Structure 1
Amino acid sequence: MLRQQDVGHRVVVRRIVGVTGDRTLFTDALGELVDLTETDLTLATDKGTLRVPLREVHRAKRVPPARRPHAAAVIALETAADEAWPAPVRSRLGDWILRAADNWTGRANSALPVGDPDRPLEAAIDAVVKWYQDHGQQPLINAPMPLAAPVNSALDERGWTSRPLTLVQTASLAPLLATPAAAGLPPVELADAAGDDWYAMVAEHKGTLPAAAIRILNGVPERVFAQIRDAEGDLVAVARGAVTGPDRWLGVSLLQTAPAARRQGLGRHVMRGLAQWAAQRGATRAYLQVEERNTAAVALYGRLGFSTHHTYLTREGPA
């Protein structure tokens, strides 16, 4: 059977679906294990999320990943994403990055364990715990999978819990750039600084923005704040873009649409505006991060050409 350290890995599950006469009927499911409880397991498959009661599982095992990116590609993208979301309090543990930002977002308040921590793994985890406790915060580690599988296994042994699986998705800018501007939609406004109503709209979903949040959002030299207003001048869609890294990645974050303005193509409209801005700065590809359980957002990004590059688990240590 599967164990907690298999979460975030590709697995195959043989499921009992019925009995015909004396013959048991099975079906196989292949996907990424995103949750495992005492009663169920959950897979992210090519056809969507599948929850399977453990009582129906005949056999299950981990299998090799499907066309996973090289470790260097994962490290390069994670580094570009860190540059695009710069926590104001930072430290190094060898190659590992320790980050804190008044507990605003998991990304900015977690250790990034890529590379060599310059000490044995168990000692490195101890150092992470101490650093966060010294800063008055719960220790968090963002573990890219499967690159950080040894880290995840060590954290399992220590009893660290996991937040929902996050997908790091990428796409070429070319299809977005080739999409004609939607007829009848207001223009996408792009600015170097965000207004109060932009921050207010983000705060509706992300909670009150502390000073550290403002520093993160404005701490990248090449960043842009996108917005769309309706005929009355009210914001109906926002997003933030940042171009970072030697590969000139466009990082997209905080894309959201007002509830009353959804299903009008505003998300694609904003993404096209960000793609045009980024292309002028040498970017050819974009990435974003979305929780696997946010099926509506995952479906939207899929329609825009995004697919999963790798995943990560945010692990929670002792408070």
Structure 2
Amino acid sequence: MLRRQDVGHRVVVRRIVGVTPDRTLYTDALGELVDLTDTDLTIATAKGTLRVPLREVHRAKRVPPARRPPAAEVIALEFAANDAWPAPVQATLGNWILRAAENWTGRANSALAVGDPDRPLEAAIDAVVEWYSAHGQRPLINAPMPLAAPVNAALDTRGWGARPLTLVQTTRLAALTDRLAARPDLSPVELADTPGDDWLAMVAEHKGDLPAAAARILTAPPEVVFAQLRDADGDLLAVGRGAVTGPDRWLGVSLLQTAPHARRQGIAQHVLRGLAQWGAQHGASRVYLQVEERNTGAVALYGQVGFATHHTYLTREAPEG
């Protein structure tokens, strides 16, 4: 049977799905173990997240990982993503980064647990709790998997919860541009150095009210752009944001959103093409974005244009009280 130390690793689970007079019926599931409790286990498979009651598990074991990027590449991408979404309050704990931004977005308000925290793991978690408590916020830890599997295991023991699994997806910028066909039937994508009021309003509809920290996060990167698409009447149809950061010149795409009445018309891909062209002009060769695994529509859209999961992460949250 699997243990908490296996969270974040690739596993295979043989599940009992029925019993006939002649035999027991089984089905196998292969994926990444993202949660394990006293009653259930949850794995992220190629078809989606699957929760299995332990009473139905016949066998379960860890298996060799699929081809994964080197740990150093995961760390470099996570640091580039931090630079593209910089919390206004940051501190370091060895290589870990502690971040606070008035509770606006989980990424900007969680400790990035990559690298060496320069102290034993349990002491590092205690230090995270102390830092966030001093800032009046609930302690959160961003744990990339399987890189931070030991962190996840320690947090399981402490009873920390987990927010939905997030996929960090990447592709080559040139390949993305090739897949995104020009749309002469749509207006050109407008690119600006700062976000307009209606751009911010569309983002607020999805992300909630924007505190002062949000403006700092959105505009702080030296190379950042705000994309928008309007209809013939000047009404906003879609928005997106791009930032180029890191020594490897990653283009990070975020806040790609379409007005409800304009969805399923290829408009998001049109805005994405505009961001990709801007990224290429700023020396980027690869692009990444982050999407919750449960957002199947967005995952399907990104898959159609060549994005694949580079790694995943869990945002872990301390027990309340």
TM-score by length of 1: 0.95
Q: Partner of 2:195 in structure 1?
A: 194
Q: Which moved more, 1:15-24 or 1:146-155?
A: 15-24
CA contact (8 A) 1:170 1:306 kept: yes
Following superposition, the deviation at residue 156 of structure 1 comes to: 1.3
Q: How many residues align?
A: 319
Q: Partner of 2:58 in structure 1?
A: 58
Alpha carbons of structure 1 residues 23 and 63: separation in structure 2 relative to 1, 3 Å? same
Calculate percent identity across the aligned residue pairs.
80
Following superposition, the deviation at residue 49 of structure 1 comes to: 3.6
Alpha carbons of structure 1 residues 71 and 131: separation in structure 2 relative to 1, 3 Å? same
Q: Partner of 1:284 in structure 2?
A: 285
CA contact (8 A) 1:237 1:266 kept: yes
Following superposition, the deviation at residue 4 of structure 1 comes to: 4.6
Gaps of 5+ in 2: none
Q: Partner of 2:274 in structure 1?
A: 273
Q: Partner of 1:121 in structure 2?
A: 121
User: Counterpart of 2:182 in 1: which secondary structure?
Assistant: coil
CA contact (8 A) 1:8 1:165 kept: no
Following superposition, the deviation at residue 48 of structure 1 comes to: 3.3
CA contact (8 A) 1:69 1:309 kept: yes
- The one-letter code of the counterpart of 1:180 is A
The root-mean-square deviation of aligned C-alpha atoms, in Å, is: 1.6
Following superposition, the deviation at residue 37 of structure 1 comes to: 5.3
Matches within 5 A, 1:159-308: 159-178=159-178, 179-308=180-309
- The one-letter code of the counterpart of 1:248 is R
- The one-letter code of the counterpart of 1:220 is P
Q: Partner of 2:155 in structure 1?
A: 155
Q: Which moved more, 1:39-48 or 1:197-206?
A: 39-48
Q: Partner of 2:77 in structure 1?
A: 77
Supply the distance in 2 between the matched residues of 1:230 and 1:36 (Cα, whole angstroms). Answer: 48
Following superposition, the deviation at residue 118 of structure 1 comes to: 1.4
CA contact (8 A) 2:16 2:57 kept: yes
- The one-letter code of the counterpart of 1:237 is A
- The one-letter code of the counterpart of 1:77 is L
User: Counterpart of 1:12 in 2: which secondary structure?
Assistant: strand
Q: Which moved more, 1:40-49 or 1:86-95?
A: 40-49
User: Counterpart of 1:314 in 2: which secondary structure?
Assistant: strand
Alpha carbons of structure 1 residues 173 and 3: separation in structure 2 relative to 1, 3 Å? same
- The one-letter code of the counterpart of 1:154 is A
Q: Partner of 1:93 in structure 2?
A: 93
CA contact (8 A) 2:48 2:294 kept: no
- The one-letter code of the counterpart of 1:88 is P
Q: Partner of 2:310 in structure 1?
A: 309
Q: Deviations over 1:155-207 (max 9, x none)?
A: 11111111111111111112332233123122111110110000000000100
Matches within 5 A, 1:1-16: 1-16=1-16
CA contact (8 A) 1:34 1:164 kept: no
Supply the distance in 2 between the matched residues of 1:2 and 1:210 (Cα, whole angstroms). Answer: 43
Following superposition, the deviation at residue 255 of structure 1 comes to: 0.7
Following superposition, the deviation at residue 35 of structure 1 comes to: 4.1
Following superposition, the deviation at residue 224 of structure 1 comes to: 0.3
Matches within 5 A, 1:22-41: 22-36=22-36, 40-41=40-41
Supply the distance in 1 between the matched residues of 2:49 and 2:208 (Cα, whole angstroms). Answer: 28
Matching of residue 17 in structure 1 with residue 17 in structure 2: yes
Supply the distance in 1 between the matched residues of 2:53 and 2:160 (Cα, whole angstroms). Answer: 24
